Amino acid sequence: MFEEHSVELSWGERELRLETGLLARQADGAVLASYGATRVLCTAVYARTAREGVNFLPLTVNYQEKTFAAGKIPGGFFRREGRPGEKETLTSRLIDRPLRPLFPKGYRCETQIVCTVLEHDLQNDPDIPALIGASAALHLSGAPLLAPVAAARVGWLKGSPVLNPTLGELEESELDLVLAGTANGILMVESEAKELNEEQMLEALGFGQESFAPVLAAIEELGGKARKPAFVVPPANDALKGLDEKMTQAFGAKIQTCYEKTKKTERVQALEELRGEVTKTYAELEDNSGVLEVLKGLEKHWVRKKTLEQKVRIDARGLEDIRALDCRAGYLARTHGSALFTRGETQALAVATLGTPQDSQIVDALAGEYREHFMLHYNFPPYSVGEANMMRPPGRREIGHGKLAWRALRPLMPSKEDFAYTVRVVSEITESNGSSSMATVCASSLALMDAGVPLRSACAGIAMGLIKEGEEVAILSDILGDEDHLGDMDFKVAGSDKGITALQMDIKIEQITLEIMRSALAQAEHGRKHILATMARCIDHPRDSLSEHAPRMRTIKVPKDKIREVIGAGGKVIRELQETTGARIDIDDDGTVRIAAVEERAIEAAIEKIEALTASAQIGKIYKGKVVRIMDFGAFVNFLGGKDGLVHISEIAHHRIGRVSDVLAIGDEVTVKCLRIDEQGRVGLSIRATQEDEGGGSGGGGGGGGGGGERQQRYGEEVHHSPYSSDDSQGERRGGGGGGYDRDRRGGHGDKRGGGGGGHGDKRGDRGGGGDRRSSHKSRPSYRD
């Protein structure tokens, strides 16, 4: 039933296995690529007839990650995979870029590659087996690919390159380099590095290219067992044969005139008029769909010839010249940081915003969920190239360019421990004529320094181009958009004055040699340092202070066992803290608390409340609290955030009260003193004791009830009557002939409330005269004792 074939090899200390014949048998080509325990199903399907009305290769690549591959269920309401995430989009681009140049010129058949991650071992990234599997599937399908493609990842550990490092090793690596190519050379490069120099990058590239050979041999071996007959590309339109010579004679001088216009808008306008004239001239052809394609070929030939022979480019620059630069930091006053970077006719406005850890992006990846504290987003509106098109959400190109700039800057960002802010940079391309992604790197670096983000160094980027005809080679610095379209290479290099932080290379020819890359890197280093010097004249180090509009952040530490006091049940306490203070509060598992707010007073208020929440009660200390519950025997007072203590009925006031609710109500704010803490952590509090500590008098003798006297306090405020007094006399006068009132001894001879001359001084019903019967010679137990 199944005709299965497989090949396997030991590669980078793990097994690479390619299988076909069991899955997806109706696809033109299907390969199950396994590396370690990570497995990706790669399929290729193509139409046998050309797609009408297109003058480009209609190739589509879709890489998709299924959450079941890592034993997870998708989040969200629908609990199923939705639109592609950033990782899926970037990997789709990664697969597309090295395969596209290998299709023959004129191939216009709809072609689709789908790579589905079926298993992820959480150690080996699926992108490398996906790219290898896609190449193998195309090879088996019989599609007219000029040659199979291999790919590899290279790390840099302990001063040496490492083949296919695991995800764990990448965390320690100084390099994450992905490259793809054929037996003859390199087709695609994507990397992030921690300021490696040019020689180290070349060593890593050469090391990766050497690893291609066994993979390519395995694809060829599998093809020998299961490849379908090769597809023959339909011949070109006979009506167009010899048309290039006729068009050269008729329009060659006009093409030259168009490309002598150094300003983009003027050149574009002239070329549009020329194309209209050409289309009108050859309208009588039965099939004139390829006329403009022939014209484009003539344009390409003229530009390339002039560059190689005269060493002069479209805008009259030399091969290594950089366009005019203009840098402006702090362009927007109300933002946290901003910069406007202009290079020729390319301009980027970058804006940096500082947020709290709560603003970090939660990334739900197959390898596990994590938080990203640095984000960079790139936008390319149609007006930047003088077009009136529909505004769309960011596409693959925008996501890819933003990620490249992010890779360039991330190695220079401070650690979370040194700079706890979440940072977002947005790059708005306001004008574009080549290398807007590298303009984004420069503008973002300036904006981050303007925001006071302590970058280790400024970062600049430059795009290098290539024109190659046989043995003739011209490497171009800071390429224009037309040089990108009509040239052979787009090689972007970003980094600091110390080394490279990011590389990206795409080519339109079959391969690039290491010697060409060596020359391009050397020329790029010179250009990068020129740009950095210009940027330094604008701003050469991060601002010493943050913008007045940026949030301030303070960090404190609380004991781990107190974290729950700050958070509260279901986050109730921390939400209330944020609502009442206006500050944003984040707390880590180790007890680190970060408080952020634009106003310093909000931070101080939050810190004060958190310290109160996490403080431990101490006997003898006085606290402010709130009545939260009333019982017959007393009241419970919340006095340290989540901690409650009991105020016994006898500790509420100096006089006897009948019901607690007559004196206290839920929500009353009171001042309490901690009297005791028992072995179970229960706290006994007193309101009465705080009044004594604040100096409420106990008077001595005096007859007739006039002696002594004592003013009571309720809830920390002085009151001038007792609920037990029958008139509005001054205070509650306890005293008499017995003299004084010893609060520390509530029984026996020491506490003689009344005495012989009580009289009308203490009008508690009939409690005057011969003394207060609560005393006599007996003592009663006290809660305080």
Runs of H (alpha helix) within 381-512: 396-409, 436-450, 481-486
What pLDDT, on the 0 to 100 scale, is given for residue 722? 34
238 three-class SS:
helix
705, 757 Cβ separation under 8 angstroms: yes
CA 343 to CA 652: how far, in whole Å? 77
Contacts of 137 (CB under 8 A, 6+ apart): 27, 29, 30, 31, 42, 43, 44, 113
The two structure tokens encoding residue 276 = 């209209």
Measured from the Cβ of residue 310, the count of other Cβ atoms closer than 10 Å reads: 8
pLDDT at 705: 38
- Give the CA count within 13 Å in the CB-facing half-sphere of 278: 28
- Does residue 776 surpass a pLDDT of 50? no
pLDDT category of residue 772 using cuts at 50, 70 and 90? very low
Residue 571: other Cβ atoms inside 10 A: 11
User: Among candidates 227, 214, 147, which has minimal Cα distance to 181?
Assistant: 147
- Res 438 pLDDT > 60: yes
- Specify whether the CB–CB gap between 68 and 98 falls below 8 A: no
Query: By mean pLDDT, which of 82-91, 521-530, 641-650 is the weakest?
Result: 641-650
Question: Which of the four pLDDT bands, split at 50, 70 and 90, describes residue 755?
Answer: very low
Using CA atoms, how far apart are residues 582 and 601, in angstroms rounded to an integer? 10
Beta strands in 261-334 (DSSP E): 325-329
What pLDDT is stored for residue 641 in this prediction?
65
Q: Please give the average per-residue pLDDT across 673-677, as a whole number.
A: 93
pLDDT of residue 193 exceeding 90? yes
What is the chain's Cα-based Rg?
Answer: 40
Q: What is the 3-state secondary structure (H, E, C) of 351-383?
A: EEEEECHHHCEEEEECCEEEEECEEEEEECCHH
Question: pLDDT at residue 773 above 50?
Answer: no
Say yes or no to pLDDT of 429 above 60: yes
Q: What is the pLDDT of residue 732?
A: 38
C-beta separation of 120 from 366 below 8 A: yes
Does residue 102 surpass a pLDDT of 50?
yes
Residues 568-594: what's their mean pLDDT? 91
For residue 524, which amino acid is it?
Answer: A
The pLDDT score that the predictor gives to residue 784 is 36
- Non-local (6+) Cβ contacts of 783 within 8 A are 648, 650, 651, 675, 684
Q: How confident is the model at residue 565 (pLDDT cuts 50, 70, 90)?
A: confident
End-to-end CA distance of the chain: 92
Sign (positive/negative) of CA torsion 263, 264, 265, 271? positive
* Structure confidence at residue 237 (pLDDT): 66
User: What pLDDT, in 10s, does the model give residues 573-582?
Assistant: 899 999 999 9
Q: pLDDT tens-digit profile of 369-413?
A: 899 999 999 999 999 999 999 999 999 999 999 999 999 999 999
Look at residue 782 and tell me whether its pLDDT is greater than 50. Answer: no
How many CA atoms does the CB half-sphere of 519 hold within 13 Å?
A: 13
Helix (H, G, I), strand (E, B) or coil at 629: strand
Cβ atoms of 687 and 672 closer than 8 Å: yes
CB 699 within 8 Å of CB 710 = yes
Q: What single letter denotes the amino acid at residue 740? A: G
Please report the pLDDT score of residue 56 as a whole number. Answer: 87
* The amino acid at 206: G
Q: Rounded CA gap, 331 and 333, in Å?
A: 6
**% of the chain with per-residue pLDDT over 90:** 69
Residue 348: exposed, middle, or buried by beta-carbon count in 10 A (0-12, 13-18, 19+)? buried
Average pLDDT for 429-433: 97
Report the predicted TM-score, pTM, of the whole model to 2 decimal places.
0.80
Q: What is the mean pLDDT of the chain?
A: 86
User: What does the alpha-carbon distance between residue 131 and residue 140 come to, in Å, rounded to a whole number?
Assistant: 14
High-pLDDT (> 70) share of the chain, %:
87
The whole-angstrom separation of Cα 350 and Cα 338 is 6
Burial of 167 (0-12, 13-18, 19+ CB in 10 A): middle
Q: What is the pLDDT of residues 633-664, one digit of tens each?
A: 999 998 876 678 999 999 999 888 889 999 99
pLDDT at 221 over 60: yes
Beta bridge partners, 362, equal 371
CA distance 438 to 491: 11
- Exposure string over 529-553, b if 16+ CB within 10 A, otherwise e: ebbbebbeebbeebbeebbeebbbb
Half-sphere exposure of 176 (CA within 13 A, CB side): 16
Least confident interval from 72-81, 483-492, 773-782? 773-782
Q: Is the pLDDT of residue 286 over 90?
A: no
Phi then psi for 85, rounded to 5 degrees? -80, 180
For residue range 312-370, list pLDDT tens digits in order: 999 999 999 999 999 999 999 999 999 999 999 999 999 999 999 889 999 988 888 89
The residue type of 586 is D
Query: Taking CA 311 as the corner, what is the angle to CA 305 and CA 315, rounded to the nearest 5 degrees?
Result: 90
**Where are the strands (E) in 545-583, listed by range?**
552-557
| Backbone φ and ψ of 420, nearest 5° | -80, -5
Pick the range with the lowest mean pLDDT from 128-142, 512-526, 537-551, 556-570: 556-570
Structure tokens at 455: 């970058």
Highest mean pLDDT among 27-41, 75-89, 474-488, 692-706: 27-41
Residue 524 has pLDDT above 50, yes or no: yes
**Coil, strand or helix at 192:** strand
